[in-house]
Amino acid sequence: MSQFLQQLINGLSIGSVYALMAVGYSLVYSIMNFSNFAHGGVIMLGAYFGYFYLTAAGLPFPVAFIGAALTTCLLAVIIERGAYKPLRERKAPFLYFIISAMGTSIFLENIVIATIGPTFRTYPEILSRTPIQIGSVSVGRLDLTMFIISAICLALLVFFIDHTKMGKAIQATAYNIKASALMGINTDLVIIVVFALGGFFAGIAGVLFGMKYTVYPQIGIITNKSFIAAVFGGLGSLPGAVIGSILLGIIETITSGYFSSQYRDLIAFVLLIAVLIFRPRGLMGKVTEDKA
């Protein structure tokens, strides 16, 4: 039983990292209908910004943390302006957006390898590594902090989308971008806001990831999993991205804990494919006809 609880906690903690990353994919998808693969690169840079603000600039942690998130926020907007807006103006097919996104992702990874270097770096120890013991179950302080920060950020995001004018504009644009433009919504601004939000979350996810594990140019490998989690939960749906991520984290840990760690990815992803076969729009995705 205690192993089960421990595995559940492990799963929640892994899932909450996926969730922070998945939200960015979902936000952009809901408006632009394409998967922004550059998001992984922005997360990776967020981890690096946080690291350098802390070590080279010597900033206190909260400042470095917010600073990194603001920097990636700006970066995401720049990427939108540079890599996607020109395509949007030419009404390019969606495939081109995906190619452009992949190109940006490879570009970001390689610019880090070329300038900062390929080796990984370690964040200074900000929180003690000694875990909190509850009975025979141990909960890492960092995991708990991450879980709380993720929860607060996601709650704020949901509030923003549901209760502000801009949030309503985002919803309307997600429903139908052309009609929204005709109704007088500045869809170009909406797109900027969506990328800014995605970038902000990427920064937070990057710093938390870097603190917990390490910082290296290939963080993108992990973000692929969070993308899959977003698809599983239903691309374009925020609660879907969060639930999909948490479920993926738990499925992974339970598979390694009770079946076989050798076959973890095999079992976990066969399960995901099975869900998608029966429910192609993911757990909470919108019906595709809505978006046509």
Instruction: Establish if 1 lies at the interface with other proteins (CB under 8 A).
Output: no
Instruction: Establish if 72 lies at the interface with other proteins (CB under 8 A).
Output: no
- 164: exposed, middle or buried (Cβ count in 10 Å: 0-12, 13-18, 19+): exposed
Site for other proteins in 159-218 (CB under 8 A): 212-214, 216, 218
Q: 128 vs 164, which CB is nearer to other proteins?
A: 128
Instruction: Establish if 227 lies at the interface with other proteins (CB under 8 A).
Output: no
Q: 98 vs 172, which CB is nearer to other proteins?
A: 98
Contact 42, 76 (CB under 8 A): yes
Instruction: Establish if 134 lies at the interface with other proteins (CB under 8 A).
Output: no
Residue 237 is encoded by which pair of tokens? Answer: 């749906």
DSSP string for 215-266: B-TTTHHHHHHHHHHHHHH-TT-HHHHHHHHHHHHHHHHHIIIII-STTHHH
Instruction: Establish if 93 lies at the interface with other proteins (CB under 8 A).
Output: no
Q: With b meaning 16 or more CB within 10 Å and e meaning fewer, what string describes 274-283?
A: ebbeeeebbb
Which of 156, 265, 279, 288 binds other proteins (CB under 8 A)? It is 265
Judged by CB under 8 A, which stretch of 61-69, 78-86, 158-166, 190-198 contacts other proteins?
Answer: 78-86
Instruction: Establish if 91 lies at the interface with other proteins (CB under 8 A).
Output: no
Q: 225 vs 281, which CB is nearer to other proteins?
A: 225
Contact 215, 46 (CB under 8 A): no
Instruction: Establish if 11 lies at the interface with other proteins (CB under 8 A).
Output: yes
What stretch of H or E contains 137? strand 137-139
Residue found under tokens 């990194």: 68
Which of 74, 114, 179, 183 binds other proteins (CB under 8 A)? It is 114
Residues 6+ apart with CB under 8 A from 28: 34, 35, 36, 39, 194, 195, 198
Please report, as ranges, the residues that interact with other proteins according to CB under 8 A. 3, 6-7, 10-11, 13-14, 82-83, 85-86, 89, 103-104, 106-107, 110-111, 113-114, 117-120, 122, 129-131, 133, 138, 140, 212-214, 216, 218, 221-222, 252-254, 256-257, 260-262, 264-265
